[in-house]
Amino acid sequence: MSILRHVAATSLARSMQSVARPTLVRSAIKATTPYRSLATVADTATPAALKFKSGHVFTGTSFGAQNSSFGEAVFTTSLVGYPESMTDPSYRGQILVFTQPLIGNYGVPSQEKDQFGLLKYFESNKIQCQGIVVNDYATQYSHWTAVESLGEWCAREGIPAISGVDTRAIVHVLRDQGSTLAKIEIGDEVLENKQVVEFPNPNLRNLVSEASTKEVYELNPMGDIKIAVIDCGVKENILRCLVSRGAAVTVFPWNYDFNKVLDQYDGLFISNGPGDPRAAMTTVQNLATAFKNPNPKPIFGICMGNQLMGMAAGLDVYKLQFGNRGHNQPAINMKNGRCSITSQNHGYALEDSVLAPGKTLNGWEKYFVNANDGSNEGIRHTVKPFSSVQFHPEAKGGPQDTEYLFDEFLNLARAEKTKNNAKPFFETAEPLTKEVLNKPIEIVA
């Protein structure tokens, strides 16, 4: 009997499992909406070419604005986030080459803003790079936030774009000879095949001044701490990382003498920005003055902010051969040895050879180091509340492993505010004698 009961129980269990697991019919699975394309840019075969000052020429087809453009050719290894990269002010003056083969497949989102008045999907209100170069442009796109195609966006903003080129070959050239001056040619210019006589160098312009705000403005004025931001080309998500943590932010132009108003704030932030940091020597001089303040406020810098703070501390800067641009750069914290994957976008770095292990310069030491090439990724003061990093903790797009650095900075600012607001238990102009302490307290109705 026991054997029969066992067989019956097994059969029942199997039948119940078959009911619980319905057969999946693949032919019945259909997409609710078709793969769509709202692009209005015509799919033409307009010829385009990327020409380097070194003589290299890469030909393809145009899918953006029908005008030529000059700039410094650089490459990014980012797999996603092309709307954020293209609107990043740090790319101002540069022709951006994407190593990711397929670009444009999720379109371009709207200019929607968040509760703080900051753009949700872009790092500034326009495309900042001089042009883009991709291997394979996706003429069809699909994403719930998309309102237009990449080609349509580029055409509307006057940015040339070229596809159908061997981006691997381009990166090999840039890797071997370094970032170079370049030109994107469109249409008849390509057919005429004229030699480019002159390649304007955008780094000879003050790109920081071009990218910076021209007026002072505030964000989240009801925040519990006040942070002054020096805008050298600040990204929207950096501001978001500050205000979303409760800070009231006032944004100043790059050359504003913040030392005049720093006593009204609980902390100072120095932003990212484009081009050669030596174009912003006014900011460097202002920082050098702030560093000498006997009652220093917390100061934190990102990207170009790291370079400017380093120069104010006595370090020099140099141009990297091809820069670090992408979402996969490893940075080692020299304090605890922890390695974080970071988002980066810079062509210059601090010369920190004087900051050997165990050594300092004017109280400054290494904070982070790049695990790939050994370049500087941050510095900090051993006594005063000053620190900066070369990478982007706010990472939009990219990893957010180091976003805690915003918390550390704002915690220092809150401690500074608490210290400044601290008052003695008794507030009196009279000496604290026995008679004064025993004086009756007058109660005002």
Give catalytic residue positions: 303, 392, 394
* Cα–Cα nearest to 85, from 124, 40, 141: 124
| Gap between the Cα atoms of 316 and 278, Å rounded | 10
Three-state DSSP state, 180? strand
The answer to whether residues 270 and 283 touch, using CB atoms and an 8 Å cutoff, is yes
| Gap between the Cα atoms of 290 and 434, Å rounded | 44
| Gap between the Cα atoms of 351 and 147, Å rounded | 44
Q: Which H, E and C letters describe 91-159, residue by residue?
A: HCCEEEEECCCEECCCCEECCCECCCCCECCCCCCCCCCCEEECCEECCCCCCCCEEECHHHHHHHCCC
Taking the alpha carbons at both ends of the chain, their separation in whole angstroms is 94
Q: What is the separation of C-alpha 260 from the centre of its chain, rounded to a whole number of angstroms?
A: 28
Strands (E), 165-294: 180-186, 217-219, 225-231, 247-253, 267-270
In 292-342, alpha helices (H): 304-313
* Cα–Cα nearest to 159, from 120, 197, 192, 133: 133
Q: What kind and span of H or E run contains 302? A: strand 299-302
Q: What is the separation of C-alpha 434 from the centre of its chain, rounded to a whole number of angstroms?
A: 61
* Cα–Cα nearest to 274, from 180, 205, 369, 184: 205
DSSP state of 196: P
The answer to whether residues 143 and 107 touch, using CB atoms and an 8 Å cutoff, is yes
Here the tokens at position 120 are 């949700």
* Cα–Cα nearest to 308, from 285, 333, 289: 285
